[in-house]
């Protein structure tokens, strides 16, 4: 259906993509895998017309094509759904689906025809949704499906899904996969990009692996062992997590640094009791909306407490703002990097030094040379790439943005580090680096709260695991006593009373 040969894209002197071949057959789901900077997004942009190839040929259904812009690619039958949903929440579902190609009668948009058309497309996908309802009132997952409906509403031959599952929960992913399979039977060629290996193995027929802008190879998913895939992506022996001695008790043995009792906040968490020992990693498991984020925000002064007491080294404290929490050594990294984390247009340098500077106060500016030195040392320590301090932070990849955020917080030398999904939407390599870093920090005496949607990750990283469900901490247990299955049962089943 689609074939790319010898694709090369240069940005100035650097080639983001060098001589890459890629094939996509009708009726298959094909995954593009690689670390950050491997050239995945560059290749996708070249296919969807967002970027022009410097060398190489794009053949669509036997014809050589060149796309001037994404619109041309769309007209040729290539539909794209991006990671960040690019729809208009204030318009109706139907308007979003038909945007730009509204059915007209006598030059005037016919709302009725549009709703009928949208309804058909949605039903086709097995979605019974009122096309006249406002998009913004639906969940992220439904919005994601509407984005797909929009992409396939034109005659689509190739569908590109870039990280479509990053904001979906398990049920919603299943729903998405059902639709992907349905499209597959219709002969649509699907390019599916995801960081979740499980999902890649569940849905994809073949994978193409890229590394540093070059093609590593194309494989049938069922013939490629997971460990081999990771190894090919990383280009080294699959990096093992550094093992560290872990505490095996239900209660922290070490001195308790932070003790929360009966903590409730207006949004999402009720009567939570949490102890955090020195040098301990407390993993937090729970579904989206279970209260895991509310817990983190309640502990770090982001959301105010309605009731409950937080003690730091047995002294009761009032954490009424992130600033106050910071001054007590408690820092928070949000799950939503782009909205609550990075200041996109400021440089990496300014982003890293932001919290330290505001802690020192407006008037005591950190001297320029000291600032650079400090930021450069963090860039090196966390291997932030590209190592360019003056680059706007928003132009870095997700994993590197996360590292910039970590650097910002670590520059404060905190005692308690609360990380809300620090590994979401970043590649395997950066993920392992961040997990290792958390381990090292804990070994050096820092206490860490580590929230993740991936249960295995919570088990690997945490000494103990707190399970959050329906706004309550329902269980805290040593990680070694749990398995992925038993943890899943705790996270998922509201009827099984574990308390």
Partner 1 sequence: MTAVYKHRLFWPIVSLLTLIAINAIARPQFITITMRDGELYGALITILRDSAPLMLVALGMTIVIATRGIDLSVGAIMAVSGAVALTIIDGSGDPDALATVLIAVLVAVLVALILGMWNGFLVTVLGIQPIVATLVLMLAGRGAALLITGGKITTVNSAPFKWMSSGYMVALPVAFFIAVAAIIVIGVIERRTALGVLTEAVGINPEASRLAGVRSRGIIWGAYMVSGALAGVAGLIYASRTSAADANNAGVFIELYAILAVVLGGTSLNGGKFSIAGTVVGVFIIQTLDSTVLFLGIPSAQSPVFFGFVVAVVVVLQSPRMRSGLANLSGRLRPRGAGVQDREKAEVA
Q: Which residues of this protein are in contact with partner 1, per CB under 8 A?
A: 10, 52-55, 60-61, 63, 65-68, 72, 75-76, 302, 321-323, 326-327, 332, 334, 339-346, 350, 354-355, 357-366, 408
User: Considering the complex, what minimum distance in angstroms separates the CB of residue 450 from partner 1?
Assistant: 18
Whichever of 366 and 374 has its CB closer to partner 1, that residue is 366
Rounded Cα gap, residues 291 and 357, in angstroms = 31
User: Considering the complex, what minimum distance in angstroms separates the CB of residue 492 from partner 1?
Assistant: 30
Rounded Cα gap, residues 265 and 208, in angstroms = 46
Whichever of 408 and 469 has its CB closer to partner 1, that residue is 408
Rounded Cα gap, residues 112 and 202, in angstroms = 39
CA angle 351, 397, 79 (to 5 degrees): 135
User: Considering the complex, what minimum distance in angstroms separates the CB of residue 322 from partner 1?
Assistant: 5
Q: Which one-letter DSSP state was computed for residue 18?
A: E
Whichever of 239 and 357 has its CB closer to partner 1, that residue is 357
Six-digit token string for 141: 């997952």
User: Considering the complex, what minimum distance in angstroms separates the CB of residue 354 from partner 1?
Assistant: 5
Mark out the alpha helices in 273-388 (DSSP H runs).
Answer: 292-299, 322-327, 348-360, 368-381
| List of residues 6+ apart from 105 with CB closer than 8 A | 113
Whichever of 63 and 128 has its CB closer to partner 1, that residue is 63
User: Considering the complex, what minimum distance in angstroms separates the CB of residue 133 from partner 1?
Assistant: 28
Rounded Cα gap, residues 5 and 149, in angstroms = 30
Rounded Cα gap, residues 169 and 311, in angstroms = 34
Rounded Cα gap, residues 45 and 69, in angstroms = 10
Which of 463, 454, 499 is CA-nearest to residue 481? 463
Rounded Cα gap, residues 456 and 462, in angstroms = 10
Whichever of 162 and 350 has its CB closer to partner 1, that residue is 350
Whichever of 12 and 494 has its CB closer to partner 1, that residue is 12
User: Considering the complex, what minimum distance in angstroms separates the CB of residue 239 from partner 1?
Assistant: 31
State phi, psi for 20 to the nearest 5 degrees: -100, 135
Rounded Cα gap, residues 441 and 357, in angstroms = 22
Whichever of 57 and 309 has its CB closer to partner 1, that residue is 57
User: Considering the complex, what minimum distance in angstroms separates the CB of residue 54 from partner 1?
Assistant: 4
Q: Report whether 415 contacts 329 (CB < 8 A).
A: yes
User: Considering the complex, what minimum distance in angstroms separates the CB of residue 353 from partner 1?
Assistant: 8
Q: Which one-letter DSSP state was computed for residue 238?
A: P
Rounded Cα gap, residues 46 and 264, in angstroms = 49
Beta-sheet strand order (sheet of 55-60): 14-24, 2-11, 55-60, 63-65
User: Considering the complex, what minimum distance in angstroms separates the CB of residue 389 from partner 1?
Assistant: 14
User: Considering the complex, what minimum distance in angstroms separates the CB of residue 265 from partner 1?
Assistant: 16
Q: Report whether 478 contacts 280 (CB < 8 A).
A: no
Whichever of 273 and 340 has its CB closer to partner 1, that residue is 340
Whichever of 54 and 214 has its CB closer to partner 1, that residue is 54
Please provide the size of the chain in residues.
499
Whichever of 358 and 413 has its CB closer to partner 1, that residue is 358
């Amino acid at each position: 259906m689609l074939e790319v040969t010898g694709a090369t894209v240069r940005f100035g002197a650097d080639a983001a993509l060098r001589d890459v071949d890629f094939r996509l057959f009708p009726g298959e789901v094909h995954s593009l895998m690689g670390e950050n900077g491997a050239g995945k997004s560059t290749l996708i942009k070249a296919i969807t017309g967002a970027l022009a190839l410097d060398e190489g040929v794009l053949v669509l259904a036997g014809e050589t094509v060149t796309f001037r812009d994404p619109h041309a690619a769309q007209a040729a039958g290539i539909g794209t759904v991006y990671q960040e949903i690019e729809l208009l929440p204030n318009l109706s579902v139907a308007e979003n689906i038909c945007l730009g190609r509204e059915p007209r009668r006598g030059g005037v948009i016919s709302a009725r025809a549009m709703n009928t058309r949208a309804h058909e497309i949605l039903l086709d996908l097995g979605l019974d949704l009122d096309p006249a309802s406002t998009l913004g009132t639906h969940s992220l997952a439904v919005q994601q499906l509407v984005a797909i409906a929009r992409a396939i509403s034109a005659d689509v031959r190739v569908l590109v899904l870039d990280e479509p599952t990053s904001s979906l929960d398990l049920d919603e992913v299943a729903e998405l996969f059902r639709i992907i399979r349905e499209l597959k039977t219709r002969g649509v060629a699907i390019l599916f990009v995801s960081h979740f290996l499980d999902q890649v193995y569940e849905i994809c027929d073949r994978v193409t692996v890229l590394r540093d802008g070059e093609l590593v190879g194309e494989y049938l998913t069922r013939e490629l062992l997971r460990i081999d895939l990771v190894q090919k992506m990383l280009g080294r022996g699959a990096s093992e997590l550094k093992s560290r001695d872990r505490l095996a008790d239900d209660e922290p043995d070490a001195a308790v640094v932070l003790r929360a009792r009966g903590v409730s906040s207006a949004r999402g968490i009720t009567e939570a009791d949490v102890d955090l020992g020195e040098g301990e990693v407390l993993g937090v498991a729970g579904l989206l909306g279970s209260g895991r984020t509310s817990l983190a925000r309640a502990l770090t002064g982001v959301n105010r407490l309605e009731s409950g007491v937080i003690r730091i080294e047995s002294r009761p404290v009032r954490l009424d703002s992130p600033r106050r929490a910071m001054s007590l050594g408690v820092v928070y990294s949000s799950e939503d990097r782009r909205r609550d984390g990075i200041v996109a247009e400021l440089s990496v340098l300014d982003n890293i030094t932001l919290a330290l500077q505001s802690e020192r106060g407006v008037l005591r500016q950190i001297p320029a040379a000291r600032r650079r030195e400090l930021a450069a040392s963090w860039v090196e320590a966390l291997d932030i790439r590209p190592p360019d301090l003056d680059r706007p932070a928003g132009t870095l990849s997700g994993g590197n943005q996360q590292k910039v955020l970590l650097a910002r917080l670590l520059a404060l030398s905190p005692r308690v580090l609360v990380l809300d999904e620090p590994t979401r939407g970043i590649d395997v390599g950066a993920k392992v680096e961040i997990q290792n870093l958390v381990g090292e920090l804990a070994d050096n005496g820092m206490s860490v709260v580590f929230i993740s949607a991936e249960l295995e990750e919570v088990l690997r990283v945490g000494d103990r695991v707190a399970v959050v469900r329906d706004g309550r901490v329902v269980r805290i247990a040593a990680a070694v006593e749990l398995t992925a299955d038993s943890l899943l049962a705790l996270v998922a089943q509201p009827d099984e009373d574990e308390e």
